[in-house]
């Protein structure tokens, strides 16, 4: 297995920046190193130069690279108690007060685990006509994978268990068909979803969002990038909009922390605070 040194990492980051204008310099070093090494194993590259050469010579490879560098969610309905909270507390509340459509944004979709979980919740709550979901991805390949409905079959067992903890009387299997290695998810669930391809700084982020689901994505950034992206997230939220991050992600330690207040500390749900 190839092991990248600090010099190799710098070379790769520099090449990505100069050739593609994607700056991974503020990604967390350990996980970035592991993702890069994983790609090198997948594509049989012995060293950093091999990877850089492939990026420069093969036009289609960059999008694949962006797909593989991002980490998909571990499973559907991860942290069932959050999904229960969304279904029992959050959605009933927003439905009443709001006249227009509730805009929900998932900034960093990879395999669509969070997106399909949300879509199932919306369907179960009968809110299909009252919400507008925007899913943004770093790569076109992510968008294709999500739209195709294909999903890693190995992740279905734990997803089923999670789903049962959200809806004790129901089966997740009504929403997918098991195939050979893949599960085929019911793509009707996402037929009204708006897909967007955004870069790593989320330039041209959507606006007036009522709820942002952004769990376990910022853990792949260093504190500098976390702060930068949180700023974008803050600006995307409507007044008193909600942000959900992973349960071991803390945003109060960063400068922008004063801009958010806790709504549900156990599930890491924050509300945008309007500064006077």
Piece of the chain touching another protein by CB under 8 A; list 95-103, 124-132, 179-187, 217-225:
217-225
Residue 157 engages another protein in binding (rule: CB under 8 A): no
Task: Choose, by CB under 8 A, the member of 87, 111, 226, 236 that binds another protein.
Answer: 226
- The Cα–Cα gap between 232 and 206 comes to 10
Residue 239: exposure state from Cβ atoms within 10 A (0-12, 13-18, ≥19) = exposed
Residue 223 engages another protein in binding (rule: CB under 8 A): yes
- The Cα–Cα gap between 88 and 253 comes to 29
Residue 220 engages another protein in binding (rule: CB under 8 A): yes
Residue 114 engages another protein in binding (rule: CB under 8 A): no
**Measured on CA atoms in the order 156, 249, 139, 59, is the torsion positive or negative?**
negative
Task: Choose, by CB under 8 A, the member of 15, 94, 158, 184 that binds another protein.
Answer: 158
Residue 153: exposure state from Cβ atoms within 10 A (0-12, 13-18, ≥19) = middle
Of 33, 257, 182, residue with least CA distance to 268: 257
Piece of the chain touching another protein by CB under 8 A; list 86-94, 99-107, 139-147, 156-164:
156-164
Piece of the chain touching another protein by CB under 8 A; list 22-30, 87-95, 184-192, 234-242:
22-30
Piece of the chain touching another protein by CB under 8 A; list 15-23, 31-39, 127-135, 137-145:
31-39
Residue among 97 and 248 whose Cβ is closer to another protein: 248
Residue 73 engages another protein in binding (rule: CB under 8 A): yes
**Position of tokens 């927003």?**
94
**Measured on CA atoms in the order 56, 58, 63, 66, is the torsion positive or negative?**
negative
For 23, the 3-state DSSP assignment is coil
Q: Left (φ > 0), alpha (ψ -120 to 50) or beta: where does 27 sit?
A: beta
Q: Which of residues 247-276 bind another protein (CB under 8 A)?
A: 247-250, 253
Task: Choose, by CB under 8 A, the member of 2, 25, 50, 80 that binds another protein.
Answer: 80
Residue among 34 and 192 whose Cβ is closer to another protein: 34
Give the footprint of another protein on this chain (CB under 8 A). 28-31, 34-35, 71, 73-74, 78-80, 158, 161-162, 165, 216, 218-220, 222-223, 226, 246-250, 253
């Amino acid at each position: 297995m190839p092991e990248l040194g600090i010099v190799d990492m710098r070379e790769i980051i520099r090449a990505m920046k100069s050739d593609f204008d994607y700056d991974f310099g503020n990604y967390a070093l350990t996980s970035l190193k592991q993702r890069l090494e994983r790609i090198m194993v997948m594509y049989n590259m012995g060293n950093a130069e091999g990877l850089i050469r492939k990026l420069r010579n093969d036009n289609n490879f960059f999008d694949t690279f962006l797909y593989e560098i991002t980490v998909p969610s571990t499973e559907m309905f991860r942290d069932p108690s959050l999904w229960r909270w969304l279904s029992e507390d959050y959605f009933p509340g927003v439905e009443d007060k709001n006249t227009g459509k509730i805009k929900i944004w998932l900034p960093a979709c990879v395999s669509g685990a969070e997106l399909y979980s949300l879509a199932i919740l919306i369907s179960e709550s009968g809110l299909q006509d009252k919400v507008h979901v925007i899913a943004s991805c770093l790569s076109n390949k992510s968008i294709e994978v999500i739209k195709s409905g294909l999903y890693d079959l190995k992740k279905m067992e734990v997803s089923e268990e999670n789903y049962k903890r959200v809806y004790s009387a129901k089966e997740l299997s009504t929403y997918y068909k098991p195939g050979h290695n893949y599960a085929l998810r019911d793509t009707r669930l996402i037929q009204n979803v708006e897909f967007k391809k955004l870069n790593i700084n989320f330039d041209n982020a959507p606006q007036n969002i009522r709820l942002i689901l952004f769990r376990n994505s910022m853990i792949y950034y260093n504190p500098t990038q976390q702060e930068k992206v949180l700023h974008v997230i803050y600006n995307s939220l409507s007044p008193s909009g909600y942000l959900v991050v992973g349960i071991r992600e803390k945003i109060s330690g960063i400068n922008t922390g004063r801009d958010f207040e806790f709504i549900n500390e156990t599930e890491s749900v924050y509300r945008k605070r309007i500064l006077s």
